[in-house]
Structure 1
Amino acid sequence: MNVLVWNEFRHEKENDVVADIYPEGIHGAIAEFLGEDHPTVKTATLDEEEHGLTDEVLNETDVLVWWGHKAHDEVSEEVAEKVKQRVLDGMGLVVLHSAHFSKPFKKLMGTSCDLKWREADDKERIWVVDPTHPITEGLGEYIDIEKEEMYGEHFDIPAPDELLFVSWFEGGEVFRSGATFRRGRGKIFYFRPGHETYPTYYHKEVQKVIKNGVKWAVNNETPTPIYGNAQPLETITKK
């Protein structure tokens, strides 16, 4: 399996707090723990040529993990469309935290993907609401995160194919924080936690969810549908 972790890599260059937490970038931290399970994990960032998402790179990628926040608008429409098409063709997509506003995710959802938010060091409790799903394998009833950014409902996404996690925040809000979608031949997993000023991606249970999500999102050589005018498989008797 070829996994690609994409990150804007802007906060780490502009904010000392983020740089101290993620000295190798958020993408570096995620790639490091994914590398424990997958020997081929690469990274790409916004300021690379074509945002590091050339046709060659995308065609080799089985699962793309996407983190973005402050520079969604800087992702070119052409690249965003290519990512969308690769998902429709079967590439898995794991969308993390504020990448709910990324161009590829919004294109695939067809909605605003807007929500409520607050940065106030809320405690977050992520409840597992589908304990039988492969992405929740190995977890307990819930995951506690000491401090996180709050996301609150209403989350303007289509009804998920599967709802896996619901978060409760210390300030009182709840949020659909783990959801799956299928688009074309591709599988999409959205997972909420991961604000850049908190060390969330070092949390072992958060890492477990993302690892499971990558494994789930890979396309296991499902058949490619054929559309349009079709010749009969059997002889049609003329009357």
Structure 2
Amino acid sequence: MSQPAMSHPVLEVSGLSIAFGGLRAVDDVSFSAEKHRITTVIGPNGAGKSTLFNLISGALKPHSGRVRINGVDMTGARPARTKAAGLSRSFQITNLFFELTVAENLRLAAQVLEPASRALLPIRSSVRARVKTQEMLERFQLTHKRDELAGNLSHGDQRRLEIAVCLASEPTILLLDEPTQGMSHTDTAETATLVRALTQDVSVLLIEHDIGLVMELSDHVVVMHQGRKLAEGPPAVVRADPAVQAAYFGHA
């Protein structure tokens, strides 16, 4: 009788390190992100969180360590390869085509779903991309703004559109770098609800500064300090850790 296939975490980071000159920006960091869960990376400014995201997504090549996506070694792979492997990423600074409409931004992202054999056909033949665009417009409540230029949207709507663009390529893991940065309290609450709902389809790796939001939203928390992993675990356990309290919350 055959044995069932082993289930891998959607993301495995092992001993990941990179240095810039004498600064070890990420130093021997290891953790896993489980399927359909929200794993959040927190830490003070300069802790190495965004550099860690760059290493995972392929924007930077690590000096040592491994990155596995869905069980496949993707260490040092270029962003196009990590995207093909199922990873999609947002950035701290909104990364949209501001001169294109909401629908056009989504259509470009969804075009990757079309088979290569249809690459030279007219865009009206991209049935799957068109369906995915409409699905994202409805899911992210942007249908009424489909023909509005992305650059004219409010900050909150731009951040929501960016998440929708990331999801349009049907990834298995979504990296969100401070998705609520600069948002109002209302927009933050709406985005938190949206991110939680995303776990029906994808696993989420999150960088977030709002500790209240982190504790409410996360299934697993990884704490970084001066490039190293300081602690990890469920939100309540991490928050009660004396080392985390001293380094991050400023008290023992």
Do both share a fold (TM > 0.5)?
no
Q: TM-score, normalised by structure 2?
A: 0.30
Highest RCO, 1 vs 2 (Cα 8 Å, sep ≥ 6) = 2
Higher strand proportion (structure 1 or 2): 1
More helix by share: 2
TM-score under structure 1 normalisation? 0.32
